[in-house]
Chain A
Amino acid sequence: MAMQASEIERLIREALPDAQVEIKDLAGDGDHYAAVVVSSAFKGKSRVQQHQIVYGALKGQMGGELHALALQTSAPE
């Protein structure tokens, strides 16, 4: 099972419309991704909370259909 990078990006943008999203397919297998997400929604939030917001946007796919998504989150400067 795998997910397209475009689908991951779409789900994140749906939840965080202002987000800058950059996704890399690490292994070329559609299963191991790295994402950099920058959104004002992360302002004042802890790293754990920021990642939880992204996982929430992915609607339970993370850990299931999506095996590995290395996340780096931050608020815009």
Chain B
Amino acid sequence: MANVQEQIAQEIAGSDVVLFMKGTPQFPMCGFSSQVVQILDYLGVPFKGVNVLDDEGIRQGIKEFSNWPTIPQLYVKGEFVGGCDIVREMFQAGELAAHFKDNGVPVAEAANS
């Protein structure tokens, strides 16, 4: 069994877009996680949700890994993008869609404007 930090690194390396969240993409258990899921769904970006409520080790470990005290946390191509506030701010400014495209992650046509 790899240690928690390695486990997190593997999760992040395993998918282009990874969201550490409370609950699942289908059933978010926290308003902040839910907001980020809605934004990603709106952009039509496929992502892997990691439910930190299922694993206390990851729940604490991700905070150290990112040096970030709260959940949700969004990773794109291995890089920490931010939590709910930053994701929402970037989305509203159109920067989030640009960030995905710059990283080769396709964004739904409907979200282009």
Contacts and interface: CB of A to CB of B under 8 A. Distances in A.
Nearest to A68: B32
A55 B90 CA distance: 20
**Range, interface on chain B:** 10 to 19
A52 B69 CA distance: 9
B55 to A, nearest CB: 17
Q: Is the interface of A mostly helix, strand, loop or mixed?
A: mixed
**Range, interface on chain A:** 10 to 19
A48 interface: yes
B68 A55 contact: yes
A62 B85 contact: no
B49 interface: no
B69 A60 contact: yes
Nearest to A62: B69
15 contacts: A47-B86, A48-B80, A48-B81, A48-B86, A51-B68, A51-B82, A51-B83, A52-B68, A55-B68, A55-B69, A62-B69, A63-B63, A64-B69, A70-B85, A72-B85
